[in-house]
């Protein structure tokens, strides 16, 4: 919990129109279903004043988009 303070993180989701990887939703996991190919991605940036653009990639992963 950040207690109402800014976290210095930004996240973005994108639909890329071609496979980005496999994703296992919580629902599929609970029902014993396999992962599925998805065409979206999520990227989380973290503020970092030591890099030229001010942010660095904290994480990224395949994501199902609606």
pLDDT digits (tens, 9 = 90+) for 9-62: 999 999 999 999 999 999 999 999 999 999 999 999 999 999 999 999 999 999
| 4 falls within a domain | no
Question: What is d(CA 4, CA 63) in angstroms, rounded to the nearest whole number?
Answer: 27
Quote the pTM value: 0.74
**Higher-confidence position of 1 and 47:** 47
Instruction: Indicate if the pLDDT at residue 66 is higher than 90.
Output: no
Instruction: Indicate if the pLDDT at residue 1 is higher than 80.
Output: no
Tokens standing for 39? Answer: 């065409």
| 59 falls within a domain | yes
Task: Give phi and psi for 42, each to the nearest 5.
Answer: -120, 135
Question: Domain residues for 14?
Answer: 9-63
The total number of structural domains in the chain stands at 1
């Amino acid at each position: 919990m950040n207690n109402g303070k800014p976290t210095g993180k930004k996240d973005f989701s994108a639909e890329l129109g071609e496979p980005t990887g496999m994703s296992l939703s919580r629902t599929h996991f609970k029902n014993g279903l396999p992962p599925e190919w998805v065409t979206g991605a999520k990227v989380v940036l973290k503020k970092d004043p030591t890099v030229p653009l001010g942010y660095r990639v904290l994480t990224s992963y395949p994501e199902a988009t609606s």
